[in-house]
Structure 1
Amino acid sequence: MRASRLLSLLLLLQTRGRMTATELSQELEVSIRTVYRDVEALSSAGVPVYADRGPAGGYRLLDGYRTRLNGLTAQEASSLFLAGLPGPAAELGLGEEAANAELKLLAALPPEPRFHAARMRERFHLDVPGWYRGADGVPFLGEVAEAVWDQRPLRMTYRRWGPRDVERLAHPYGLVLKGGAWYMVAAADGGAPRTYRVSRIIAARLLDGRFERPGDFDLAAYWESYAVDFQARMYTAEALVRVAPGIEDMLRYTVGAEIGDAALAGAGPPDEHGWVVLRLPIESVRHAHWLLLRLGADIEVLEPAELRDRMAATIVQLGGLYGVRPS
């Protein structure tokens, strides 16, 4: 355990430069006294760790010192190759770089981690987009990625859901890959950060100069909050339905696993035929009408009345289409 911690301390100093004892203790989740002992142990082992005194001081390695140890276990090395996504890397224009980095990492690994990493790459493959849907076309992903990386303003034309396209001057803070689709988080026209689907950018031009990215902006935290808020805004209504026994999996597939599980967990007791009544969050009557028709005669809408009437009207139309007259 201590050997692993010493190596972690060494790699922290190597990658981040000067760090205080307090910062090291927080990163390693140990006491400051333990940090002092670990630094002393590294110095005794010949590692050139130096302490700079004063308010801006801390521990650092001798300039130019690099350890050749990578500290990767077999499992850690394997996870790096499992996390590699050649498709998204290629979309960002980094396909060749990613392949070269993987090759160099393999060559640098000791025999056992190299064996595990190679086997992981041979036996596991990540395919991001869902079934029956291709990845978005993203002709301007390269420009967006460059704007994110270099903090350059981006003039773009964006296709909204509304009736017309809009022009935006964007300061892109980050890119997120979600379900095979790329999203740009950017502050546009001086406003707060918002989310834009990159495939809906129909024109983009990088501008000269640089913008200041807020130092306290956390992309992962923003996205987590955005996802929760997006789901809350999406499901603004509710439907009361009866569902037949044995269609639980089809219900989850139709409305989404999270929504389906929550609805089934709150379902009432089954009737004599095994049917249960449950409440389903819905986006709108129109969307629910299209969605619930997939379940055919295994679902009955009880409320709202508008949705029930739409379902009934569609059933009558289908009967006429197939030559079935209502009795």
Structure 2
Amino acid sequence: MADDKKFDVIVIGGGPGGLTAALYAARANLSVMILDRGIYGGQMNNTAGIDNYPGFVDIQGPELGEKMYQTATNAGAEFGYGDVQTVKDEGLIKRVITDTAEYEAKVVILATGAVHKHLNVTGEDEYAGKGVSYCAVCDAAFFKDEDVAVIGGGDSAIQEGLYLAQSAKSVTVIHRRDQLRAKQELQSKAFANDKMKFVWNAQTEAIEGDEAKVTGVKYKDKETGEEKVLPVAGVFIYVGILAQTEPFKDLGILDEQGWIVTDDHMKTKLPGVFALGDVREKDLRQITTAVGEGSIAGQEAYNYLSKLDD
């Protein structure tokens, strides 16, 4: 294999966590390649405005991604496009196979993130960022004193609903069943909250809006067949999250739900393989948490390689 395909560290995923891991590894004088199938920045590129990242009162997602990319590459990290198909463990060497090339490294850092399941209804994509959200912690401030809807009935839906209820005028949970799936403690808190309302046995059919923003949720009562529209300014969708870990399934580092298991140092049980950000099972998925974990992973990569040289 050509030397231009061999690195000390390969970071798979160019989101905020991956870029931070690459920065810290590169600053430790390691050769680093960042691989991503799309443009650097990850989900930040789909975020119009970010107002909860320290140091920036308000910044566009793509702009923050560009700044993180420049910081990492200025430190010496390289960026390459590639859709990673698999990672092979060959002892001290890890082989990363993409759709167009193969790479080698002694350390691989997995930062491929997770995606929210979509309802796949009319208006969901059209109003993304214009009232449709998958993160209450990110966007609750935009809906202060507004009526909002939460779609889902599991732990995440109710947790985020309670978070929204702190500032929203009202939070209506739309659920396709006649009871919640969330743990009892969360249910009790939700039912006791005067701002929380519930629509049962409801199948969401569309998200409605005008040219600029969401105006309501159209749903069908599964018992009567009647179609109704709930007027709201925001729709928060929580019907599941999928870790993007398919290429790593043969490494033996995933749990039953497909999340990568690590310790507090971002180490997996496979030496030389680290993971960070949304591919890990955790409660808070934010740019700030990904960046923090990225700095740990980058430093731990250096520590691991230093011990190999002893």
TM over 0.5: no
Q: TM-score range by the shorter chain?
A: under 0.3
* TM-score of the aligned structures, taking structure 2 as reference length: 0.24
More helix by share: 1
* TM-score of the aligned structures, taking structure 1 as reference length: 0.23
Q: Which has the higher contact order (CA 8 A, sep 6+)?
A: 2
More strand by share: 2
In our comparison, the structure showing a higher alpha carbon Rg is 1
